[in-house]
Chains A and B, each alone.
Chain A
Amino acid sequence: MTTVRHPVATASDDVAGRHLAEEGAPRTPSAGRSPVRRRRENWRIRGELAILLGPALVVFVSFVILPVVLAAYYGFYKWSGFGTPTDFVGIRNYVTILTDPAFHEALGHNAFIVIGSLVLQGPLALGLALLLNRKMRAQSLIRVLIFVPYVISEVVVGLGWGLLLQSGGALNGLLEKIGLGALRADWISDPALAIWTLLIIITWKYIGFAVILFLAGLQGIPEELSEAAAIDGASYWQIQRHIVLPLMGPTIRIWAFLSIIGSLQLFDLVWIIWGQYVASTAGTSTMATYMVSNGRNAGSFGYGSAVAVVMFLISLAVALIYQRFVLRRDTAGALTGGTK
């Protein structure tokens, strides 16, 4: 956007924004302003920026960026978390992680959850959003109900599903009652089933988020388009397929991005339902649970930090590849375009 936003401060904008290509070129001497006044205005703007941006930047840098940087540093040490790390081990932590079969397993589970979430949640959530976007009776009530699982905490979800699915739990009881007793299973501790159970619980929990995003996206599509298509004789499904879906592209791609990143960092639900030890035997461990059980809980903060770095690099690589190949067209509009 090339408009100057502060008419009052044109002169100082000229100075402060000198580097900006769009404002840099025509740097005409501002009419009748003395350099002293201009400089004072310039300092005032800097002061305002410091007041406005300073607190957010300080908090963000010291509690988000700094820990990530510290993780990279601690990762090269064998360190129990007390005093300053002194036992430098180079890349040995990383070699251990990358050759540990338990980590490979955890990584595999993460990959399964990433793909499973996209495949299950995407189409389901899109269908639900289209459904909820239609005018129907009790629409707002239904909307609230769909979001219930998303709003309740992971602990509630974990405890509830845990009791529901345990071998003497309600699901097996219900199956027995309706004559499907043969289908009874150990949903949580059977290694052949546990990861699928986890996937279903995740889908149940997070689909509301996808629906919210999709509904917001749908509301951004002008109704005139669908009306025009309807006048041209397009059926409901044709309209959804050829008009709504392509226009939803950016929203869907952003959701998929958030879903992938979330799946790679999965911790809460696994930790609450399976706990540290069962997660590895039932086959639901993730990189994050591996990190906590082998890091803090084992008193090896250097090793835990190294796992965090590996997780971060994997997430970053996935994010960059995704941005490069999938989000390319949208980044100007949605993720970074806010202030452009």
Chain B
Amino acid sequence: MTATATLVTPRGGKAPRRSPVGTNRGSSVIVGFVALLLIGMMLAPVVYIILGGFRSNAEITVDPSGFPTRWNWENYADVLTSGVFWGQVGNSAIAAVATTVFVVALGLMAAYALSRYRFRGRGAIYALFTAGLMFPMTVAITPLYILVRNLGLMNSLAGVIVPQIAFALPLTIIILSPFLAAIPNELQEASSIDGLGRLGFFWRMVLPLAVPAVVTVGILAFVNSWNSYMLPLFILNNEATYTLPLGTQAFASQYSVDTARVLAFTSLSMIPALLFFSVFERRIVGGLTGAVKG
């Protein structure tokens, strides 16, 4: 039908296409405006936190919604020179890195087995992991706390790391499996002709090919661990083992009168996750594409 239309009136076929372009240009100003407005609303609270760190308490009390009249770096400098802040950054970093490394390693191995081997119970095991998506930590936290306590891991980062690995596995496996299943069999045949076994194929071919998906699950695991609140709240009672979220909250209640310093502490604590995410944002969307399509 289109073909005939274009054949009979070559220009007529083009005309309707041109007018939407025209309206698009008109509407793109509106679209841009709406976009700016939404982004402003998204960022306002974050900007409030960052700018608030540059103000003095007196200013904040008199005019809570104003800009800093004098940029005052002391709040930030105080936080950055305090051992408490860096101790918490260190704890958070250890927890996040360990969680990420183990989730990626265990998840890759399991996803490889589940997507490229055929064996009895494969479907059941996959279903078990997917069911894990339905158990967020909230449901398990009370017995999990008892379990961690009985293992003697209270007030230790390991007590946070191991459960985090377990709870991050389902999503990791669900994202990685389709990715690994999509690696063409011809590749495996070719490498087996070249003398590579199944595990050799895993090391030499699958790992390099899986990098995009690995980056996606790695970032998700890292950011989730960095921001995790409920589990550390239950497991870590000793200030020396506090991760950044717990530390930030403790700081806020300890210095609740010193709003400016609380705001400075808060804005510094969000930097690492933000940096990490903005560097890899494109990868996350790309890596999820396969998973969402299935």
Contacts and interface: CB of A to CB of B under 8 A. Distances in A.
Given A45-B119, A160-B48, A149 B42 contact: yes
Contacts of A301: 142, 146
Do most interface residues of chain A lie in helix, strand or loop, or is the interface mixed? helix
Interface residues of A, number: 117
Given A56-B110, A159-B262, A144 B147 contact: no
Contact of B109 (A52, A267, A330): A52
B142 A219 contact: no
B198 A48 contact: yes
Contacts of A271: 229-230, 233
A96 interface: no
A236 interface: yes
Contact of A17 (B42, B118, B166, B282): B118
A60 B131 CA distance: 11
A316 B273 contact: no
A145 B43 contact: yes
Given A63-B167, A170-B48, A338-B177, A52 B112 contact: yes
A74 B229 contact: no
Contacts of B146: 70, 74, 81, 301
Contact of B229 (A9, A154, A169, A170): A154
B32 interface: yes
A148 B281 CA distance: 11
Contacts of A196: none
A217 interface: yes
B110 A53 contact: yes
Contacts of B8: none
Interface in B128-172: 128-130, 132-136, 138-147, 162-163, 165-167, 169-170
Contacts of A219: 285-286, 289
A53 B109 contact: yes
Given A53-B109, A74-B146, A216-B291, 18 more contacts: A5-B185, A7-B185, A9-B198, A57-B110, A63-B144, A70-B143, A149-B42, A153-B227, A155-B245, A164-B45, A170-B65, A171-B65, A215-B285, A254-B292, A308-B140, A336-B127, A339-B122, A339-B177
16 contacts: A6-B117, A48-B113, A59-B166, A60-B166, A60-B170, A63-B165, A64-B135, A140-B282, A153-B244, A156-B267, A163-B262, A174-B64, A254-B292, A271-B229, A272-B249, A312-B135
